Homo-oligomer: A and B are copies of this chain.
Amino acid sequence: MTHPLFAQHAETLNRALAAIEDRGYWTPFNESPSPRVYGETANADGESAFKSYLNKPFELDQPGTGQVGHERSPFGFDLGIRYPSADPDTLFPAVAAAQEGWRRAGPEAWVGVSLEILARLNRASFEIAYSVMHTTGQAFMMAFQAGGPHAQDRGLEAVAYAWDQMRRVPGSAYWEKPQGKHPSLAMEKRFTVVPRGIGLVLGCCTFPTWNGYPGLFADLATGNAVVVKPHPGAILPLAITVRIAREVLREAGFDPNVVTLFATDPNDGSIVQSLAQRPDVKLIDFTGSTANGEWLESHALQAQVYTEKAGVNQIVIDSVDDLKGASRNIAFSLGLYSGQMCTAPQNIYVPRDGIATPDGRLSFDEVAQAIAEGVRKLCGDPAKAVELLGAIQNDGVADRIDRARALGKVLVDSQSLTHPAFENARVLTPLLVQLDARTDASKFSDEWFGPIAFVIATDSTQQSLDLAGRLAATRGALTMSVYSTDEAVLAAAEEASLRGGVALSINLTGGVFVNQSAAFSDFHGTGANPAANAALADAAFVANRFRVVQSRRHVPPRETTAA
């Protein structure tokens, strides 16, 4: 019998399945925070829900021992929320016990429950938006879109991929092998999808839901229990998520410990290492630094480990039809959430002898100045700028800007802005520094996470593309962008992107930015370079999260009709 939640969400699932195959535009979760979409009081209700969490214990009825939590809004105030802390040796056995009943429920229940959780998360989009805003530093609009509907899209995408793979495994099969003149050998076979066990989702402090949901829902939809360990700087969005997941699980008759929260205080490195190496942890999803990601890949050998790490995103400028559009688009990409996106560009390569435009050749300096001017314009009106820039998540980013200033000639300096609504917000505009490929490779070959970008003089577009492909392949990259009016250059750029294993955007001058990646259509990451060992989402992201166990027994051969 079809699980009622599976039946209830069947249409959404079917449309998602169609979307991941044709990869056109589709979403069931509206990205507009408009009252016409989410209701007249949705925004106010969400904000007051967020405020109701502040300065008190977060209620979550799971095995716990004490209290943790020291979150501070990048907009300048302490959240003061205390979360239940857990002793792993108490929590994990409770999770394992919950996992048993969950495993038995089977794929339709796993998928149905996952889809219901996503639907409820969508209804909580405002509450989650404010919690994302005040942990990550994202401005409200991005916090709503990326933290709410877009994150839900990525979760749904993972569920769709999971179901798409599981549905290919038949529940049973009839096998009949002819034996010449003797009666056939006939068997009935049963195939059972079994989860791997317990998944550990390690959240990040910039996109806790967007980067956390794919692993969470890929695990859940394939029958695994999930322990969610948020970054200590961004617990609330995932704590709300876990609470909603537990509500749905309980209502559907499951032990809510199928999804649990493992909140921590800052500097939780040794705790994470010990969790990640538990024999009962079979799946790990991680977004964060290269050092931590590589540690997991080489130490958590008992688990399937999915990592998204650092990378160097690059833009190659060869020639442009519309320098103004290109500069505006690039500047916007640099400013969006102050470059604190794993997809934000860092290295902008421009030939030292300039580029072709419809108005004739422009020198390197003119191109660099056009981009610099784009950045200046973007930040010219602080009240508008903060709605794009958001706030700086942590002091590490601010310190990095200081260090980057010394790398070369400063084209646009980073400035501190005063947020009109939050006087203590940490707001810093992008820093743009000029470098040279001949002498500065060591400076631009690593990620400078934050609002830091380089305009780099190269000998030629060919050198730019070589650099972009090679750095992507060796240091990792999630995005690459090229501007050219020459199809031969665009073909060479595609080839460089294939060598670098990185997604390419071509001639973005309008309303699409290289940082943006649309669920169901754009693969986020490829798994083909060091920035990530998996893509969000594809078959490879889900196929190892479950296994198939079969049984077989003889049955009488079926009567076959005469030929």
Spell out A's residues near B (CB within 8 Å): 20-25, 103, 164-165, 168-170, 173-179, 185, 187, 189-192, 194, 196, 297-298, 301, 494, 497-498, 501-512, 518, 521-523, 526-528, 535, 538-540, 543-544, 547-554
Contacts and interface: CB of A to CB of B under 8 A. Distances in A.
B539 A168 contact: yes
Contact of A21 (B165, B168, B174): B168
A188 to B, nearest CB: 9
Contact of A548 (B24, B509, B523, B548): B523
Contact of A173 (B22, B176, B505): B22
Contacts of A170: 21-23
A526 B547 contact: yes
Nearest to A182: B511
A543 B539 contact: yes
A177 B517 CA distance: 13
A503 B196 contact: no
Contacts of A549: 497-498, 501-504, 526, 528
28 contacts: A21-B168, A22-B170, A23-B173, A23-B175, A25-B175, A175-B518, A179-B511, A185-B511, A189-B521, A194-B501, A196-B528, A497-B551, A501-B547, A502-B549, A503-B552, A505-B553, A506-B551, A506-B553, A507-B553, A507-B554, A508-B554, A512-B554, A523-B548, A523-B550, A526-B548, A535-B548, A539-B543, A540-B547
B538 A543 contact: yes
10 interchain residue pairs of minimum CB distance: A506-B553, A528-B547, A23-B173, A540-B543, A504-B551, A543-B543, A539-B543, A25-B177, A540-B544, A25-B175
Nearest to A197: B528
B551 A176 contact: no
A540 B161 CA distance: 13
* Integer count of this chain's copies in the complex: 2
Contacts of A25: 175-178
Contacts of A192: 494, 498
Contact of A175 (B175, B196, B521, B544): B521
Given A165-B539, A194-B528, A505-B552, 19 more contacts: A21-B168, A22-B170, A23-B173, A25-B176, A25-B177, A25-B178, A173-B521, A179-B511, A185-B512, A189-B522, A297-B301, A502-B549, A505-B553, A507-B553, A523-B548, A538-B543, A539-B539, A540-B547, A543-B544
A313 to B, nearest CB: 15
A552 B21 contact: no
Interface centre among A192, A196, A504 (most CB of B within 10 A): A504
A176 B23 CA distance: 10
Contacts of A526: 547-549
A531 to B, nearest CB: 12
A501 B197 CA distance: 11
A187 B179 CA distance: 57
A271 to B, nearest CB: 23
A551 B503 contact: yes
A23 B509 CA distance: 51
Given A170-B23, A174-B24, A548 B552 contact: no
Contacts of A20: 168
A523 B20 CA distance: 27
Contacts of A494: 190, 192, 551
Contacts of A169: 538
Contacts of A538: 169, 543, 548
